[in-house]
C-alpha cells in the first residue's frame, strides 16, 4: 500500500484534469468492507486519487457498495483478475464456457448494482465481452476483450515496446513503438562516441571566459606553482 501511494502521488503531481484511478493492491481490501474503505480513503487523501479500482465480481459487491456509499468512485475489474491468477490456474482467458460466461455476466451486474462507475473486462472472448457491454448501463473497459467494449486500456510499457526481446506478451498486446530498441541504439552510440572522444563535441562544451593569452598565463602559473612544490 505504501508503494502504491508513492506511485499515486507521483501521478497526481503530473496531472491537471485527468480522472485518476488508484489500483488497490492485494491485501488492502479483501479482509472486509471496512478494511477496504480505509484503504480507499488513504488512496484519495494520501495518494490524491479521484477513484479506486479493485478486482472481483459478485463476491466484492458489498465492498464496492461500502466504498461508493462513502462517496469514493469505484472502478470494478472482472474476467481475468491478475491478483487472483493463482486461483484461476494462471493467466487464462475467462468466459470461454457457458457457465463461465454466465458467471461473468452475473459479476458484471453485481458490480454495477453495487455502484461501480465502470468495469474493466480482462481476457474474455470478444463476443462475450460485447454482449456484457450491451447488457450494462455503465461503461466497460476492455483489455484482451475485443473492440466491442466501451473503451480500451493497454499497459504503457507493453504498447511502447519498453522491454527486452523475448519477453512473453499476452495475445492482446500490440506494440505501437520500440522504446527498448531505440534506447539500446542510443546507449550504444553514446558509448562509441565517448570512447572515440567524438562526444562531447565543441557544441556541447562551455567556452572559456579568458583569452588564449590569459590561458597561457594560467598554464604558466600552474607550472611555476608545481615547480615550487617539488
Length of the chain as a residue count: 230
User: What's the pLDDT score for residue 93?
Assistant: 85
For the domain covering 2-153, report its CATH number.
3.20.20.60
Closest CA to 158 of 147, 146, 169: 169
Q: Which of 110, 111, 115, 31 is nearest to 73 (CA)?
A: 115
Residue 90, pLDDT above cutoff 80? no
Average pLDDT taken over every residue of the chain: 94
Tell me the C-alpha distance between 156 and 144, whole Å: 14
Confidence bin at 91 (pLDDT 50/70/90): low
Q: CB within 8 A of 102, min separation 6: which ones?
A: none
pLDDT of residue 135: 98
Model confidence at 8: pLDDT above 70: yes
Angstrom distance (rounded) from CA 111 to CA 134: 15
pLDDT band at 117 (very low <50, low <70, confident <90, very high): very high
pTM of structure: 0.85
Q: How confident is the model at residue 67 (pLDDT cuts 50, 70, 90)?
A: very high
**What pLDDT is attached to residue 62?**
98
The total of other beta-carbon atoms located within 10 Å of residue 111's CB is: 30
pLDDT tens-digit series, residues 26-66? 999 999 999 999 999 999 999 999 999 999 999 999 999 99
Catalytic annotation on 214? no
pLDDT at 85 over 90: no
Residue 81 reports pLDDT greater than 90: no
pLDDT band per the 50, 70, 90 thresholds, residue 174: very high
Q: Which positions ≥6 away from 208 have C-beta within 8 Å?
A: 215
Q: Check whether 89 has a pLDDT greater than 80.
A: no
Q: Where are the domains of the chain?
A: 2-153, 154-230
Q: Which of 34, 46, 55, 122 is catalytic?
A: 122
Instruction: Tell me how far apart the alpha carbons of residues 230 and 221 are, in angstroms, rounded to a whole number.
Output: 15
Overall average pLDDT of the 15-25 stretch: 96
Give the span between the Cα atoms of 190 and 131, in whole angstroms. 52
Poorest-confidence range of 13-17, 83-87, 199-203?
83-87
Amino acid at each position: 500500500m505504501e508503494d502504491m501511494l508513492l506511485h499515486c502521488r507521483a501521478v497526481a503531481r503530473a496531472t491537471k484534469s485527468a480522472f485518476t484511478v488508484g489500483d488497490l493492491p492485494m491485501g488492502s481490501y479483501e479482509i472486509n468492507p471496512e478494511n477496504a474503505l480505509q484503504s480507499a480513503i488513504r488512496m484519495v487523501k494520501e495518494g490524491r486519487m479521484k477513484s479506486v479500482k479493485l478486482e472481483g465480481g459478485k463476491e466484492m459487491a458489498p465492498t464496492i457498495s461500502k466504498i461508493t456509499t462513502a462517496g469514493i468512485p469505484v472502478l470494478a475489474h472482472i474476467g481475468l483478475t491478475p491478483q487472483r491468477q493463482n486461483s484461476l490456474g494462471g493467466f487464462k482467458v475467462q468466459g470461454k464456457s457457458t457457465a463461465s460466461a454466465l458467471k461473468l455476466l452475473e459479476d458484471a451486474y453485481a458490480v454495477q448494482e453495487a455502484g461501480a462507475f465502470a468495469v474493466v473486462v480482462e481476457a474474455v472472448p470478444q463476443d462475450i465481452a460485447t454482449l456484457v457491454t450491451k447488457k450494462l448501463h455503465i461503461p466497460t473497459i476492455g483489455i484482451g476483450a475485443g473492440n466491442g467494449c466501451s473503451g480500451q486500456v493497454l499497459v504503457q510499457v507493453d504498447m511502447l515496446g519498453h522491454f527486452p526481446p523475448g519477453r512473453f506478451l499476452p495475445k492482446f498486446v500490440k506494440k505501437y513503438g520500440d522504446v527498448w530498441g531505440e534506447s539500446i541504439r542510443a546507449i550504444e552510440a553514446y558509448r562509441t562516441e565517448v570512447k572515440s572522444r567524438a562526444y562531447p563535441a565543441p557544441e556541447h562544451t562551455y567556452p572559456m571566459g579568458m583569452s588564449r593569452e590569459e590561458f597561457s598565463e594560467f598554464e604558466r602559473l600552474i607550472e611555476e606553482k608545481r615547480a615550487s612544490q617539488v
